[in-house]
Amino acid sequence: MGEAYFYHLTHKPMEETLAMLLAKSLERGWRVAVRGTDRDRLDRLDRHLWLGDEAGFLPHGLAGGAHDTRQPVLLTTAKQAPNAPQCVIAIHGADLDPEEINGLERCCLLFDGGDEAAMTHARDQWRTLKTAGCSAQYWSEETGRWEMKART
Mean pLDDT of each 10-residue bin along the chain, 152 residues long: 92 92 95 96 88 70 94 96 97 94 94 96 96 95 93 92
**Among residues 90, 107, 119, 88, which one has the least CA distance to residue 9?**
119
Q: Which of 77, 56, 54, 74 has the alpha carbon at shortest distance from 65? A: 74
Domain around 98:
3-151
What pLDDT is attached to residue 85? 97
DSSP β-bridge partners for residue 35: 76, 90
- Predicted local confidence at residue 102, as pLDDT: 87
The angle at the Cα of 40, spanning 98 to 3, to the nearest 5 degrees, equals 20
Question: What pLDDT score was predicted for residue 49?
Answer: 84
pLDDT at 55: 52
The domain tally of the chain equals 1
pLDDT at 69: 96
Report the alpha-carbon distance of residue 135 to residue 12 in Å, rounded.
25
Helix pair angle (14-27, 39-50), 10° resolution? 70
The CATH code of the domain that includes 116 is 3.40.50.10110
Q: Decide: helix, strand or coil at residue 70.
A: helix
